[in-house]
Amino acid sequence: MTSRRRFIASILGASATMPAILPAMRADAFRHLRRANDRTGGAPPASAADDETYWGEIQRAFDIDRTMVNLNNGGCSPAPTHVLEQMIRDLRFSNELPVDHMWRVLEPRIESVRRDLATEFGCDPEEMAITRNASEANETMIFGTDLARGDEVVFTTQNYPRMQNAWRQRERRDGIVPKPVKIETPILSTASFVEHIAAAITPRTKVIEVMHVSYQTGYFAPVREIVELARPHGIKVFVDGAHAFAHFPFKRDDLGCDYYGTSLHKWMNAPIGTGFLYVRRDKVKSLWPLMAGGVEEEDNIRKYEEIGTHPAANHNAISVAVAFHRSIGAERKIARLRFLRDRWAHQVLASSDRAHMITKIGPTESGAIGVLAIDGMDMGKLGSWLLANHHIVTTPMVTDEFHGIRITPSIYTTVDEVDLFADRVSRGIRQGLV
């Protein structure tokens, strides 16, 4: 904890002395963090999960509309105000003289962002490309790998639709063979998940695409087990980490993967339109970029950033979001998110035997994302009722495989907000959606 206090103090000192053109961090946001961390001292992360004074300080770093209860932070989460302010400040600075301020002054600072993200992920900076979202990162993998007619690609029927569409386009264009695998909901076990994937592998299988965290159910997939299954067969594993990075603590070596794509505007609370693509260094040369770079960039991770003119402000503010994330700590963050998930889930489950969780919950199960199902209730109508009548934003999950409603709080969410959700859903079960 001493090192975390020192880290926050250094940021506060730096923000007071930075020249006008350098990135600024709003000092009061980090003062909230320092007060919060001073309160908890050296206590274990889980012990602060229900400390509302601590999390009240964190909540003050966000300027959001509290007339609405946002429980869809899995889609896109707001950035802390000081992160947003740096982005806006750099946009204004860019606009004064774009060819100089944006290209000469601000754009080179992407190297600091690369370094910070590489440290968080546990890889070499030369393996870290800054993208605009997980879709851009994942489609770089999908369209950038050489495949021949008849080559097979394995993924689940619950993989993100945009990625499935990308594979279907390759099917139409190149004659590859997508092999979607239907898995049970909820997943029975890690072994069951791996067995489903293994059963789809044939001598023609070239790629397996796996979601690190399911956007539909919040399930944490056994990425390392899939990598170990695939590697002896020479099968590439593409990891869609859109809902995982900065959600809970892990490093690249925990997964053993060669390719990973994620968004940073979900759990890192970075500006909207930020993400990264990780490619293991010896794989960079063979993975094509979406937009062509020079031949001299063939084995350079920066070839994936050749997207033409774009604002430097968005990606430079990532470093401020990383600093905020580090100051809280990944272990403390996931402990809080699980506490909020369990708080609403246990209240709703206790209110009716019609309610049940599609997402497994517990101290080591899943994370912030929890999916609730209610027997005999239309989940789409429930979501509309909560929004129209109670100003609560949720995500109905109505698929061919299951019907549920996805609830995703964030670190700025209050216990009053999750209690309100639980109360209104319980009332809806008892009295109907009136």
Please return the burial class of 65, using the count of CB atoms within 10 Å of its CB with bins 0-12, 13-18 and 19+: exposed
Of 291, 322, 353, the position where a domain reaches its end is 322
Rg (CA), the chain: 22
Residue in this structure with the two tokens 């399930």, named with its chain if needed = 219
CA atoms within 13 A on the CB side of 162: 11
Same domain, 341 and 220: no
* Residue 76: inside a domain: no
Same domain, 179 and 268: yes
Residue in this structure with the two tokens 């399911």, named with its chain if needed = 214
Strands 370-374 and 259-263: unpaired
Same domain, 257 and 136: yes
Mean pLDDT of 76-101: 97
Same domain, 270 and 346: no
Same domain, 311 and 381: no
Neighbours of 229 (CB within 10 A): 18
Same domain, 144 and 259: yes
Same domain, 310 and 367: no
Mean pLDDT of 161-179: 98
Are the CB atoms for 150 and 338 separated by under 8 Å? no
Closest-CA residue to 83 (of 274, 369, 216): 274
As a whole number of angstroms, the distance between CA 109 and CA 392 comes to 39
Straight-line distance from the first to the last Cα atom of the chain, in angstroms, rounded to the nearest whole number: 50
* Residue 276: inside a domain: yes
As a whole number of angstroms, the distance between CA 355 and CA 37 comes to 37
Of 322, 356, 384, the position where a domain reaches its end is 322
pLDDT attached to residue 31: 58
Same domain, 306 and 336: no
DSSP helix/strand/coil, 313: helix
* Residue 73: inside a domain: no
Of 322, 349, 384, the position where a domain reaches its end is 322
For 131-145, 253-267, 352-366, which range has the lowest pLDDT when averaged over its residues? 352-366
Same domain, 308 and 365: no
- Tell me: pLDDT of 170 over 50: yes
Beta bridge partners of residue 213, listed in sequence order: 220
Are the CB atoms for 369 and 73 separated by under 8 Å? no
Amino acid at 19: P
CA distances from 198 to 93, 151, 195, 259, 299 (A): 53, 16, 5, 19, 32
pLDDT confidence tier of residue 37, bands split at 50, 70 and 90? low
For 42-46, 73-77, 249-253, 387-391, which range has the lowest pLDDT when averaged over its residues? 42-46
* Residue 24: inside a domain: no
Closest-CA residue to 327 (of 415, 268, 250): 268
Q: Residue 350 is part of a domain; what is its CATH number?
A: 3.90.1150.10
pLDDT tens per residue across span 111-128:
999 999 999 999 999 999
Query: What is the secondary structure of 320-346 as a DSSP string?
Result: HHHHHHHHH-HHHHHHHHHHHHHHHHH
Are the CB atoms for 242 and 263 separated by under 8 Å? yes
As a whole number of angstroms, the distance between CA 365 and CA 246 comes to 16
Overall domain count for the chain = 2
pLDDT tens per residue across span 294-334:
999 999 999 999 999 999 999 999 999 999 999 999 999 99
Same domain, 341 and 311: no
- Tell me: pLDDT of 18 over 60: no
Neighbours of 302 (CB within 10 A): 17
Strands 177-181 and 152-156: parallel
Name the pTM for this structure.
0.91
DSSP helix/strand/coil, 210: strand
* pLDDT averaged over every residue in the chain: 92
Same domain, 154 and 251: yes
Q: Residue 133 is part of a domain; what is its CATH number?
A: 3.40.640.10
Same domain, 308 and 347: no
pLDDT attached to residue 153: 98
- Tell me: pLDDT of 11 over 50: no
pLDDT confidence tier of residue 41, bands split at 50, 70 and 90? low
- Tell me: pLDDT of 370 over 60: yes
410 is in which domain, residue-wise? 332-431
* Residue 306: inside a domain: yes
As a whole number of angstroms, the distance between CA 342 and CA 386 comes to 20
Name the DSSP class of 175.
Answer: -
Are the CB atoms for 392 and 420 separated by under 8 Å? yes
Mean pLDDT of 58-69: 96
* Residue 36: inside a domain: no
- Tell me: pLDDT of 13 over 70: no
As a whole number of angstroms, the distance between CA 55 and CA 426 comes to 26
* Residue 232: inside a domain: yes
Closest-CA residue to 219 (of 429, 75, 406): 406
* Residue 75: inside a domain: no
